[in-house]
Amino acid sequence: MSHVKKPAIPQTPKAGEPRVRFDTAVKETLEIVTGRRGAGRVVRAGIAHAGVEHGIRFLPSDATSADIIDKVNEIIEVLQ
């Protein structure tokens, strides 16, 4: 799975300062972490959505402990 670089979130703007840079960085990071874009994208039943090459796939009901460990590590990678 490719690692999608999340934008650095700048300091919270003070009252009266422009918020666009801050808000955009927060929005992009949330989209990556929640799977709305990039490598965090969830793929159901092994079927990729249009334009999505990678994604977090659901584990089968007969997943082994090793499968579960791999999946947890995959999710941690997306969150970092």
Closest CA to 53 of 37, 68, 69, 67: 37
Over the stretch 5-59, which tens digit does the pLDDT of each residue have?
777 888 999 999 999 999 998 888 888 777 777 654 555 544 444 444 456 778 8
The answer to whether residues 9 and 29 touch, using CB atoms and an 8 Å cutoff, is: yes
Mean pLDDT of the chain: 76
Q: Is the pTM of this model over 0.75?
A: no
Query: Which residue would you say has higher pLDDT here, 62 or 1?
Result: 62
Residue 65 pLDDT > 90: yes
